[in-house]
Amino acid sequence: MPSQYVSPTVDVPALATLLDGRYAEVRQLVRKNLAQHGDILRDAEEMSRADFRQRVLDVVVMMARTGQTGMGFPEEYGGGGDIGASIAAFETLAYGDLSVLVKVGVQFGLFGGAILQLGTKPHHDAYLADLVSGKLLGCFAMTETGHGSNVQALGTTAVYDAATAEFVISTPDDLARKDYIGNAAMHASTAVVFAQLVVNGQSQGVHAFVVPIRDETGEPVPGVRIEDCGQKIGLNGVDNGRLWFDGVRVPREALLNRYAEVTADGAYTSEIENPDRRFFTMLGTLVQGRVCVGGAAINASKVALAVAVKYGLRRRQFGTPGSGDEELLLDYGMHRRRLFPLLARTYALHFAQERLAADLHEVFSHEDASERDRRALESRAAGTKALGTWHASRTIQECREACGGAGYLSVNRFDALRADTDVFTTFEGDNTILLQLVAKGLLTDYRDAFGDLDQFGMVRFVASVAVETVMERTSVHKILDRLRDVVPANDPDTDPDAGLLDTSAHLNLLRWREEHMLAGVARRLKKGMDAGGDPAAVFSACQDHVIGAAHAHVERLVLEAFVDKVGAMETGPNREAMHLLCDLYALSAIERDRAWFMEHGRLSNAKSKAVTAMVNELCRRVRPICGDLVDAFDVPPEMLRAEIIH
């Protein structure tokens, strides 16, 4: 192991520019806006819930006036006409108070996005200009108490009454009440309500409707009952509420009719015949929300790391007796171990997210994007959101503990960060369910069947036809041969350090794992069904395997994005620094799953130990540049707040 390694001298401004990427200007605008409302972090701590909700609303409306929140909407309605810019703006908001971020997400992403994506010109004309300016406040009423992840089974109904050309919206029971709806408890005057459409007694599946819920005085309109969800773990600047509809009538035009229409005389029409496919197409248009949440989580991790790394570079503890000096926290091997693999993973996820946002921009800027591209985008969005949000929870918690008692004081930032981001792992799609979605796409190879299958349908499908496709695609034996040279198995004569810092070996390991796991899942599902199993039982028995395969897939995508980014950089110290982090990300991912690699003969026992030793060595190499690496995140000082680092 080379101990002569000299860490590169990082050019921080250049690295910050690299991270900001294509939308540097947008990100700077948001940083400026955040700094201007810097006192909101203290307000979050000191104000009553009611006052803080109002404060957050005020900031959101003020930000809307700067154009920051409307970048994804068409220019004719006051928007910026640039989806990529809107993602960049949203992500950067995560450096600040996250109630503001989520309120922006609810108003412009979910409510606005539904009107834009599911509605047609009359809806756009009626609502977009006002909602972009923050004059019309709305909410996105999808989740119900009884149905969060399984949206297709929502209980709310919208029955078409041809006599009056109206839909009648009803909540059949308390399990069907809309729940956890952001903006609903106080501020929204209008809701996009997802309900089972019934025309002529026939159910046509879930559709979205624009439903007024409050009058001009702010009182609920007749037939609508609203309840406050009350205190939450975090995000208490967002007013989440519950909604019940008691035969609320809305005109025929309230149906957001991009994908389906009900004629005045009560005929249901849609260009998409298959109802499941129609439902998933509608949902697919809302993918932007997931992309945003993932990006926000990654940026929240940056704030936590900035505080913890800066603290670790100031705070001393214990020391060599007699020397009188105490050691800096980050001179302890364990402290580096706690923080640096997370720092490397944050960079990796940053570049994966950049790639995802670019894909989103492409797909949504072109009407004729292929079905396959859309499905690939949805899968990548689901996976990146899951890994990004879990990463944020883990990183923020580790950073908090790495700051000891000081980390427990709200002023030092971790309180709000961890409380506010905590729900990210379960909202906009529960992470576990999202990884199942990723696995489904992989197993069905983005066939037409995608979208028609729930998880049990997937089991049947895999058991019938998909398994051969998957097996052929992954062609395990060929890969195994290909890898044999690259990754030595249990060979006692091989130098265990050999190839440890070989990027293509890292990629090959992650690819092999993904393909092997996927083929294994396909085989198990097929075997279970062939043996006459009940799909639910077959699925349940290998659910951890399904999710593991999806996880492996996304980790591979993340590594590829990082490797591509480093490859495209000019030679120099910054590229060297990124290469170092990329190795650390790859090796610490491999280390974390080294049991699997050993179980499958891909790592020898000796090599596995060498991986751990090399992760320690890479952490040592990151040590001299760790301050620069967090400075390049360019978190506005007002948003760092933490008195422990000043």
Q: Which of residues 153-182 bind a copy of itself (CB under 8 A)?
A: 153, 179-180
Measure the CA–CA gap between 643 and 640, rounded to whole angstroms: 9
The residue with tokens 């950049």 is 354
User: Which residues does 645 contact at the CB level (< 8 Å), separation at least 6?
Assistant: 307, 310, 311, 314
Structure-token match 């979605």, residue found: 437
Contact string (CB under 8 A) for a copy of itself, positions 485-524, x = contact: ----------------------------------------
Q: Which of 124, 473, 575, 600 binds a copy of itself (CB under 8 A)?
A: 600
Least distance to a copy of itself, CB of residue 118, Å? 22
Q: Distance between CA 342 and CA 193 in Å, rounded?
A: 39
Cβ 94 vs Cβ 262: under 8 Å: no
Q: Kindly state whether residue 1 participates in binding a copy of itself, applying the rule CB under 8 A.
A: no
Least Å distance, CB 220 to a copy of itself, is 21
Give the range of 159-167, 257-265, 401-409, 524-532 binding a copy of itself by CB under 8 A: 401-409
Residue number with CB closer to a copy of itself (119 or 407): 407
Q: Which is nearer to a copy of itself, 199 or 542 (CB)?
A: 542
Residue with Cβ nearer a copy of itself (29 or 615):
615
Instruction: Name which of 133 and 149 has its Cβ closer to a copy of itself.
Output: 149
CB of 352 to a copy of itself, least distance (A): 22
In the list 274, 599, 624, 637, the residue contacting a copy of itself (rule: CB under 8 A) is 599
Q: Please list every residue from 341 through 370 that binds a copy of itself, using CB under 8 A.
A: none
**Subset of 81-100 contacting a copy of itself (CB under 8 A):** none
Interface of this chain with a copy of itself, residues 417 to 436, rule: CB under 8 A: 418-419, 422-423, 425-427, 430-432
* Residue 550 Cβ vs a copy of itself, minimum distance, rounded to whole Å: 12
CB nearer to a copy of itself: give 127 or 244.
244
Q: How far is CA 636 from CA 78, 98, 319, 382, 603, in A?
A: 28, 15, 34, 29, 43
Phi-psi region of 173 (alpha: psi -120 to 50; beta: other; left: phi over 0): beta
From 141-149, 343-351, 508-516, 570-578, span contacting a copy of itself (CB under 8 A): 141-149
Enter the DSSP assignment of 570. Answer: P
CB 233 within 8 A of CB 258: no
Q: Coil, strand or helix: which one is 206?
A: strand
Choosing from 51, 274, 408, 498, the residue that interacts with a copy of itself (CB under 8 A) is 408
Query: How many residues of this chain interact with a copy of itself, rule: CB under 8 A?
Result: 79
Q: Which stretch in 139-147, 261-269, 341-349, 363-371 sits in contact with a copy of itself by CB under 8 A?
A: 139-147
Q: Which stretch binds a copy of itself (CB under 8 A): 65-73, 105-113, 408-416, 479-487?
A: 408-416
How near is the Cβ of 180 to a copy of itself at its closest, in Å? 5
The residue type at 258: R
Identify the bridge partners of residue 206 per DSSP, sorted by sequence position. Answer: 196
CB of 172 to a copy of itself, least distance (A): 15
Q: Is 143 in the site for a copy of itself (CB under 8 A)?
A: yes
Smallest gap from Cβ 635 to a copy of itself, in A, equals 20
**446: contact with a copy of itself by CB under 8 A:** no
Only one of the segments 144-152, 258-266, 346-354, 357-365 lies at the binding site for a copy of itself (rule: CB under 8 A); that segment is 144-152
Nearer to a copy of itself, 372 or 592 (CB): 592
Q: Which residues pair with 246 in a beta bridge?
A: 170
Nearer to a copy of itself, 162 or 489 (CB): 489
**Residue at token pair 């992403």:** 109
Tell me the residue type at 623: R
Residue 316 CB, shortest distance to a copy of itself, in Å, is 8
Stretch of 14-22, 398-406, 476-484, 568-576 contacting a copy of itself, by CB under 8 A: 398-406
Q: Which is nearer to a copy of itself, 244 or 562 (CB)?
A: 244
Among positions 316-335, residues that touch a copy of itself (CB under 8 A) are 316-321, 326-327, 331-334
Q: How far is the CB of 64 from a copy of itself (least distance, A)?
A: 26
Say whether 269 sits in a helix, a strand or coil.
strand
- Using CB under 8 A as the binding rule, whether residue 274 contacts a copy of itself is answered as no
Interface with a copy of itself, residue 475, by CB under 8 A: no
Residue nearer to a copy of itself on the CB measure, 504 or 605: 605
Q: Measuring CA to CA, which residue among 116, 130, 121, 137 is closest to residue 54? A: 137
Is residue 536 a contact point for a copy of itself (CB under 8 A)?
Answer: yes
Scored b (16 or more CB within 10 A) or e, 70-93 reads bbbbeeebbbbebbbbbbbbbbbb
- Residue 248, beta-bridge partner list: 169
- Region of 21 on the Ramachandran plot (φ > 0 left; ψ -120 to 50 alpha; else beta): left
Q: Which helix (H) or strand (E) holds 246?
A: strand 241-251
Site for a copy of itself in 207-246 (CB under 8 A): 229-234
Q: Which is nearer to a copy of itself, 30 or 521 (CB)?
A: 521
Calpha distance 464→317 (Å, rounded)? 62
Query: What residue has token string 């091989």?
Result: 494
Asked if 279 is part of the footprint of a copy of itself (rule: CB under 8 A), the reply reads no
Angle made by CA atoms 604, 508, 295, in degrees to the nearest 5: 115
Interface with a copy of itself includes 598 (CB under 8 A)?
A: yes
Q: Which of 96, 35, 151 shows the shortest CA–CA distance to 430? A: 151
**Per rule CB under 8 A, is residue 146 in the interface with a copy of itself?**
yes
* Cβ contact 631:27 at 8 Å: no
Q: Does 46 bind a copy of itself (CB under 8 A)?
A: yes
Q: Is 205 in the site for a copy of itself (CB under 8 A)?
A: no
Among 346, 415, 355, which Cα is nearest to 626's? 346
Q: Which residues in 601-640 contact a copy of itself (CB under 8 A)?
A: 601, 605, 608-609, 616
Q: How many CB atoms lie within 10 A of CB 200?
A: 12
* DSSP structure string for 132-170: HHTSS-EEEE--BTTBSS-GGG---EEEEETTTTEEEEE
Q: How far is the CB of 249 from a copy of itself (least distance, A)?
A: 29
Copy the structure tokens of residue 202: 């026939």
Write the interaction track for a copy of itself spanning residues 541-580; mark x where CB under 8 A is met and - where it is not: xxxx--x---------------------------------
Instruction: Decide: 259 and 77 in contact? Cβ < 8 Å.
Output: no
Round to whole Å and give the CA distance between 514 and 531: 26
d(CA 256, CA 209): 6
